[in-house]
């Protein structure tokens, strides 16, 4: 059996070599079909990996609570005679909210605050501006940060609001080049902080920073939230200095008229609360619970927004997946067209080779031998086209990534699928011509000119 297959394959190769141009033109549909499918699947895989990388940057199973300026809510009956809404007091997003969520909301594994202030970092005559971020020990695990040197904040350091910090990798490179930063001190604003850890470098692209609205964490310095509130600034407290300075840096001014201004202070103690739930299936439900809880705690003032990053990214992933399925389906049409081309040429080849078929059948070839001969020839064209298509598809993927700035990943499964489909099409569309060749009467075939 193997010997017959090899013999038929030799005959198929010989027939293809006699008509190289025709065989090449016949295989073009297979070539471009396989190449298109591989390129489209590479784009889809790249897009999926990009979304997964974004999920990792935003943290797995996270729900984010952010403050917004006060939004007035209430019934019409609450208005005074002039139609004005009486102001409602809200304490803003604060540590008490965080503690309540931690104590009362189920399925919450970890929770961390985030307090951000712009400041200057100074050490040994070098200075640069940056962000000092108040967090707790859970913050780094929630956001998938790894500590490169040193360790995390201890409960005692957080409780006592000690002047300690963990610095980003680029801060270490800037201020502690060639030395161990752990145990050294760096001045942030007017306060000296002792470095207890260095974060591992976080690979961030400009696109991720812009599209996800995240910072370059490598340039930040992290300190306990209690340290920030006690030693730097607590926006929940209004001091005489704030009143004298007109709350500069913490106000948003809305011009009502030329001679009137409404000043809204940023009274939120926290800039963000990050909640990590035990399973992503609870994210939406917990987001609704958090919304109701915070609205009640803030006296029905909706001065916060709740974001479920994974839900947004999953929607993006679903959209990209549908788009890639459509593109791959369109690309697969080329494979079908290629199969029709193979069938068309093979039918023409059967007519041209009637005499050859008659001679083979006259010297003892059976119908299944003739059938196998033409089927092998169709398969050989598909195999050749599939191999060329794989190389071309990989080239297309690289070209798309270089020219269009789109991430593409060629996987072995996409090569296997596209090549397998090409082989199936070769067999399916080559079977009818092979069957027709095998059904020829050898007497009539020998008389054919």
The string of DSSP codes covering 346-399 is HHHHHHHTHHHHHHHHHTT--HHHHHHHHHHHHHHHHHHHHHHHHHHHHHHHHH
Decide: 372 and 366 in contact? Cβ < 8 Å: no
Highest mean pLDDT among 39-43, 140-144, 160-164: 160-164
Per-residue model confidence (pLDDT) at position 245:
55
- The proportion of the chain whose per-residue pLDDT surpasses 90, expressed as a percent, equals 24
What is the pTM for the complete model shown?
A: 0.60
199-203, 364-368, 372-376, 421-425: the lowest-pLDDT one: 364-368
Residues near 354 by beta carbon (within 8 Å), at least 6 away in sequence: 440, 444, 445, 448
Summarize pLDDT for 195-237 with one digit per residue, the tens: 999 999 887 666 555 555 567 888 999 999 999 999 888 887 7
Per-residue model confidence (pLDDT) at position 54:
62
The DSSP 8-state label assigned to residue 441 in this structure reads -
The kind and range of the H/E element at 6 are helix 2-18
Per-residue model confidence (pLDDT) at position 263:
46
Cα 445 to Cα 449: distance, rounded to the nearest angstrom = 9
Per-residue model confidence (pLDDT) at position 8:
66
Mean pLDDT, residues 343-349 taken together: 74
The HSE-up count of residue 197 (CA atoms within 13 Å, CB side) is 20
Cα 307 to Cα 318: distance, rounded to the nearest angstrom = 18
Per-residue model confidence (pLDDT) at position 99:
92
Per-residue model confidence (pLDDT) at position 253:
35
The DSSP 8-state label assigned to residue 78 in this structure reads G
Cα 115 to Cα 370: distance, rounded to the nearest angstrom = 79
Three-state DSSP class for 163?
Answer: coil
The string of DSSP codes covering 267-295 is --S-SEEEEEESSGGGHHHHHHHHHHHHH
Q: Where are the domains of the chain?
A: 2-55+315-447, 61-306
């Amino acid at each position: 059996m193997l010997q017959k297959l090899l013999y038929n394959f030799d005959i198929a190769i010989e027939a293809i070599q006699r008509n190289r141009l025709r065989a090449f033109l016949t295989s073009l549909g297979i070539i471009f079909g396989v190449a298109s499918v591989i390129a489209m699947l590479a784009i889809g895989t790249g897009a999926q990996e990009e979304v997964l990388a974004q999920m990792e940057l935003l943290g797995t199973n996270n729900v984010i609570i952010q403050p917004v300026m006060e939004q007035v809510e209430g019934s019409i009956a609450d208005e005074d005679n002039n139609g004005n809404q009486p102001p409602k007091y809200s304490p803003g997003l604060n540590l008490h909210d965080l503690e309540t969520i931690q104590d009362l909301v189920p399925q919450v594994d970890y929770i961390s605050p985030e307090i951000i202030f712009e400041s200057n970092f100074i050490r040994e005559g070098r200075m640069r501006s940056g962000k000092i971020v108040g967090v707790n020990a859970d913050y780094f695990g929630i956001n998938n940060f790894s500590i490169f040197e040193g360790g995390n904040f201890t409960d005692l350091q957080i409780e006592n609001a000690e002047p300690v910090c963990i610095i980003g990798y680029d801060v270490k490179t800037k201020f502690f080049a060639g030395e161990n930063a752990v145990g050294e001190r760096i001045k942030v604003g007017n306060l000296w902080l002792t470095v207890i850890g260095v974060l591992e470098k976080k690979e961030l692209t400009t696109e991720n920073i812009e599209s996800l609205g995240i910072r370059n964490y490598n340039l930040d310095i992290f300190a306990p939230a209690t340290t920030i509130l006690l030693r730097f600034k607590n926006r929940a407290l209004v001091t005489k200095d704030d009143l004298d300075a007109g709350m500069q840096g913490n106000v948003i001014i809305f011009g009502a008229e030329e001679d009137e201004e409404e000043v809204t202070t940023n009274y939120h103690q926290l800039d963000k609360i990050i909640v990590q739930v035990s399973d992503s299936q609870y994210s939406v439900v917990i987001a609704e619970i958090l919304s109701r809880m915070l609205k009640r705690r803030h006296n029905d003032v909706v001065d916060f927004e709740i974001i479920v990053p994974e839900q947004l990214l999953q929607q993006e992933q679903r959209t990209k997946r549908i788009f890639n399925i459509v593109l791959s389906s369109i690309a697969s049409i080329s494979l079908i067209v290629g199969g029709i081309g193979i069938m068309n040429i093979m039918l023409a080849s059967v007519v041209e080779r009637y005499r050859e078929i008659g001679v083979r059948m006259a010297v003892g070839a059976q119908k299944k031998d003739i059938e196998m001969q033409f089927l092998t020839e169709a398969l050989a064209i598909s195999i050749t086209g599939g191999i060329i298509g794989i190389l071309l598809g990989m080239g297309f993927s690289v070209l798309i990534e270089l020219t269009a700035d789109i991430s593409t990943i060629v996987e072995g499964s996409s090569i296997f699928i596209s090549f397998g489909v090409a082989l199936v099409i070769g067999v399916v569309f080559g079977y009818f011509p092979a069957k027709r060749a095998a059904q020829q009467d050898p007497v009539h075939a020998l008389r054919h000119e």
